[in-house]
Amino acid sequence: MKITFKLFATLQDFLPPEAKKTNALPLEIESTTTVMDLVKRFSLPEKLVHLVLIDGNFVPPGERASRTFQEGETLAIWPPVAGG
């Protein structure tokens, strides 16, 4: 299935160069692929995988190893960040 994979802030360095301009990479994945599978595939340091959203909804740490995807969903990940 097709999903969109987004990495932001310092994590964008783990995207291919062509994807950095948009922070987004279209991905073709298996239906059994989980959030954590993608974290490992892109070699993201786990301590930097902080804010994880699928279509804008928060995925708690305890669900990331089991959460799979629906066609067309967007996964977005940030390291620890804040603002105001």
Partner 1 sequence: MAWNRKLLRVDLSKGTCTSEALNMQWAQEYLGQRGLATKYFIEEVDPKVDPLAPENKLIMATGPLTGTPASTGGRYSVITKGALTGAIACSNSGGYFGAELKFAGWDMVIFQGKSKKPVYLSIEDDKAELKDASHLWGKTVFQTEEIIKKSHQDPQIRVASIGRSGENGVMFACVVNDLHRAAGRSGVGTVMGSKNLKAVAVRGKNGGGAIRDPKAFMAATVAAKKVLADNAVTGQGLPTYGTQVLMNVINEMGALPTRNHRDVQFEDARKISGEAMHEKRPTDGKAQLVTNAACFGCTIACGRISKIDETHFSVVNKPEYWGASGGLEYEAAWALGAANGVGDLEALQYVNVLCNEDGFDPITFGATVGAAMELYDLGILTKEQIGMDAPFGSAKALVELAQMTAKGEGFGKELGLGSARLCEKYGRPELSMGVKKQEFPAYDSRGIQGMGLAYATSNRGACHLRGYTVASEVLGIPVKTDPLVTEGKADLVKAFQDATSVFDSAGVCVFTTFAWTLADLQPQLDAACEGDWTMEKLGLLGERIWNMERLFNNAAGFTAKDDDLPPRLKTEPAKTGPAKGLVNGIDKMRPEYYKARGWSAEGVPSKETLARLGL
Residues 12-71 that bind partner 1 (CB under 8 A): 12, 21-23, 47-48, 50-51, 53, 55-58, 60
Q: Does 9 participate in binding partner 1 (rule CB under 8 A)?
A: yes
Choose which of 3, 5, 6, 67 interacts with partner 1 (CB under 8 A).
Answer: 6
- What secondary structure letter does DSSP report for 15? S
Environment class of 79 (CB within 10 Å of its CB; exposed 0-12, middle 13-18, buried 19+)? middle
- Quote the least distance from Cβ 29 to partner 1, whole Å: 19
DSSP-assigned letters across all residues of 69-80: --TT-EEEEE-S
Nearby residues of 41 by Cβ (< 8 Å), 6 or more positions away: none
- Binding residues for partner 1 (CB under 8 A): 6, 8-10, 12, 21-23, 47-48, 50-51, 53, 55-58, 60, 74, 76, 78-84
